[in-house]
Amino acid sequence: MHPAYDLADVSAVLSPSLVLFPELIRKNIARVVEMAGGPERLRPHVKTHKTREIVRLLLAAGVGKHKCATIAEAEMLASAGAPDVLIAYPLVGPNLARLVALIRAFPNTAFSTTIDDPDATRALSAALSAAGATAGVVLDLDVGQHRTGVPVGDAALALYKLAGSLPGFTLEGFQLYDGHNHQPDRGERERAVRAFLAPVLDLRAKCEAAGLPVPRLVCGGTPTFPVYAALTDVPGVECSPGTFVLHDAGYGPKYPDLTGITPAAVLVTRVVSRPTPDRVTLDLGNKAVAADPLLEKRVSLLDFPEYKTVGHNEEHLIVETAGAANYKPGDVVFALPGHICPTVALHKEVLVAEGGKVVGKWTVAARDRVLTV
Ligand SMILES: Cc1ncc(COP(=O)(O)O)c(C=O)c1O
């Protein structure tokens, strides 16, 4: 177990609780700034932590550009003082009016959003121009994940031209999000990025030749971050990892090129039952730790004998271990979540530990779908 997780007295800590370690968060931020070659080459995604306090740690490290997926996250970022917020999510329906409300409510923040559909882009332009507002638009390119975005090619060029012809927009560039690239081998990850980068740069040249600026390429998440960080020859690259702030337990062993980034959030759980001689049941159900990883990867119990996770219900995690006899109800166990981002969103508040002690609480503010707009 990392020495920083060693809390002196957890007798009064409720379980299950998620405990964050700001000292490790600061180190993770510093390491990513260092790898990127400066804070201006970063646009971290806020979805991992959704807290104002961590936004402020990023701002203090010189990171002014931020990315998010929801209007609530965008509002939380703006209210924490972020000067530049990209909502990297297609805005449709009532979210158009919410974007306009955000722009009005936070005049000191420049907002932008991604586009990938001509009709939705026209609707966005109409909503902004009817309100006399402007926002940046970033063309979402589908570089292989096939989740959102336009394939790199003529349709992308046509959509960027359309955006350039509509009122209410400033053209901000392209998004290249490649969540499908998580090859453990750095060379393979790099080859996968290089394979789509050449056509993207060709598209950029065509847009620029048509008089349409492409000032930035907003690239990737945490697994491909080291690859984009090293692309210093491509102008305007902004790396948009999110997970690194709190980091996933499995990433350290899986991606050796992400050195110096440490999981900064630990779950405190207690044994609540010993139902059979080889079973230990913990109060770490799927309402406290995200259930999207496979059962065996859902949590890593720290300083715990070899075990197999055999069940996970709303309030119970059941493990089998030959060392079960060493545990009794009430014993505290520390655990790393297998997937930190949705785990944070299960907690209204997180505890904060410094110097081996719990010193306070942070609210996971953008866990709510709506703040004020
Ligand atoms: C569009 C977009 N950008 C960036 C990220 C951050 O990726 P990661 O969680 O790998 O750091 C995500 C993650 O979901 C994303 O959807």
Do 219 and 126 fall within a single domain? yes
Predicted confidence at residue 132, as pLDDT, reads: 98
Output 41 or 251, whichever has higher pLDDT.
41
What angle is formed at CA 347 by the lines to CA 342 and CA 350, rounded to 5 degrees? 115
Predicted confidence at residue 193, as pLDDT, reads: 97
Do 135 and 239 fall within a single domain? yes
What domain range includes position 321? 3-18+264-367
Residue ending a domain, among 185, 213, 245, is 245
Percent over 70 (pLDDT), the chain: 100
Which one-letter DSSP state was computed for residue 87? E
Which of 47, 148, 219 best tests ligand 1's pocket when mutated (most atoms within 8 Å of CB)? 47
Contacts of 8 (CB under 8 A, 6+ apart): 356, 357
For the segment 133-140, the average pLDDT, to the nearest whole number, is: 98
CATH of the domain at 222: 3.20.20.10
Confidence of residue 160 (pLDDT cuts 50, 70, 90): very high
pLDDT for residue 94 is more than 90: yes
Distance of alpha carbon 132 from alpha carbon 236, whole angstroms: 29
CB 279 within 8 A of CB 310: yes
Ligand 1: which atom is nearest the Cα of residue 341?
Answer: 9
Q: Is residue 372 part of a domain?
A: no
Predicted confidence at residue 250, as pLDDT, reads: 86
Could you tell me the pTM of the whole model?
0.97
Classified as helix, coil or strand, 28 is helix
Predicted confidence at residue 25, as pLDDT, reads: 98
Residue type for position 259:
T
Pair of tokens at residue 149: 């975005």
pLDDT for residue 2 is more than 90: no
Count of structural domains, the chain: 2
Distance of alpha carbon 271 from alpha carbon 280, whole angstroms: 7
Residue ending a domain, among 185, 216, 245, is 245
Do 141 and 48 fall within a single domain? yes
Average pLDDT, the chain: 97
Predicted confidence at residue 1, as pLDDT, reads: 80
Confidence of residue 67 (pLDDT cuts 50, 70, 90): very high
pLDDT for residue 253 is more than 90: no
Confidence of residue 322 (pLDDT cuts 50, 70, 90): very high
Classified as helix, coil or strand, 289 is coil
Residue with the smallest CA separation from ligand 1 atom 13 is: 221
Pair of tokens at residue 231: 């692309």
Residue with the smallest CA separation from ligand 1 atom 4 is: 221
For the segment 151-159, the average pLDDT, to the nearest whole number, is: 98
pLDDT for residue 252 is more than 90: no
Pair of tokens at residue 115: 């586009």
Q: How far is the CA of 179 from the centre of ligand 1 (A)?
A: 7
